[in-house]
């Protein structure tokens, strides 16, 4: 990674059996990898065991440096019962400084609301952690009808345009906040 590249951590927020979350996450990761100046780290919470007691573990120790190295984040989340998954909350709560003064974007999916209620809850959590959330969100309502068998949105042009818009915001905020943290360390 060069000084001008942005390290973007994309977090697959669902760990449920037969989950859909990797489909939009992998599509978005490919979109981000095609964006100039962005290096992607795709983090799948299903690949690790993070204790819900918030105790230390080898997976917590492995995840911390990946989050700390990120200049920006995208959280991919479904909406479960008008909110986001418990495993995602556990992953967020294990860390503090790793999120501070960094931008967070969202890719959500669900039924009629497309996961937007989960995103609204996450915006409040990240504000408490001193992270800033970007305005644009990618939301897939009725997600089971929105992706083809290859894992691509059926309305690829529109979805890609929305992804580019959010990536542009993340790149701006990520670069600006990284420069600010380097010039003056963030104090919560």
Domain spans, the chain = 6-183
Whether 83 has a pLDDT exceeding 50, the answer reads yes
Q: pTM of this prediction?
A: 0.96
The H-or-E segment that residue 87 falls in is helix 86-93
Give residue-wise pLDDT tens across range 117-170: 999 999 999 999 999 999 999 999 999 999 999 999 999 999 999 999 999 999
Q: Which CATH class is domain 6-183?
A: alpha beta
Cα of first residue to Cα of last residue in the chain, in angstroms, is: 27
Task: Single out the residue of 146, 80, 170, 74 nearest to residue 118, CA to CA.
Answer: 80
Quote the CA–CA distance of 123 and 127 in Å, as a whole number.
6
In three-state secondary structure terms, 47 is helix
């Amino acid at each position: 990674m060069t000084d001008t590249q942005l390290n973007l951590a994309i977090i697959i927020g669902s760990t449920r059996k037969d989950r859909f979350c990797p489909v939009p996450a992998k599509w978005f990761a490919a979109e981000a990898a095609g964006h100039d100046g962005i290096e992607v780290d795709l983090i799948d919470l299903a690949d690790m065991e993070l204790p819900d007691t918030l105790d230390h573990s080898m997976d917590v120790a492995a995840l911390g440096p990946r989050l700390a190295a990120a200049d920006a984040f995208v959280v991919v989340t479904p909406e479960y019962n008008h909110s986001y998954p418990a495993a995602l909350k556990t992953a967020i709560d294990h860390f503090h400084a790793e999120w501070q003064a960094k931008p967070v974007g969202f890719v959500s999916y669900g039924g009629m609301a497309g996961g937007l209620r989960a995103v609204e809850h996450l915006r409040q959590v990240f504000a408490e952690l001193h992270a800033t959330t970007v305005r644009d969100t990618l939301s897939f309502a009725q997600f089971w009808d929105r992706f083809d068998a290859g894992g691509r949105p059926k309305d690829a042009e529109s979805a890609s345009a929305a992804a580019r818009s959010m990536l542009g915001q993340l790149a701006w905020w990520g670069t600006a906040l990284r420069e600010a943290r380097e010039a003056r360390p963030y104090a919560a």
